[in-house]
Amino acid sequence: MSEATVSDEQLRLFIERIERLEEEKKGIADDIRDTYNEAKSQGYDPKIMRQIVRLRKLPPHDRKEMEAILDVYKSALGID
Domain ranges, ordered by start, for the chain: 3-77
Rounded CA gap, 23 and 26, in Å?
5
pLDDT of residue 1: 55
Each of the 80 residues of the chain gets a pLDDT tens digit; together they read 566 788 999 999 999 999 999 999 999 999 999 999 999 999 999 999 999 999 999 999 999 999 999 999 999 999 97
pLDDT of residue 66: 95
pLDDT of residue 15: 98
Tell me how many degrees the CA angle 40-43-48 measures, rounded to the nearest 5: 65
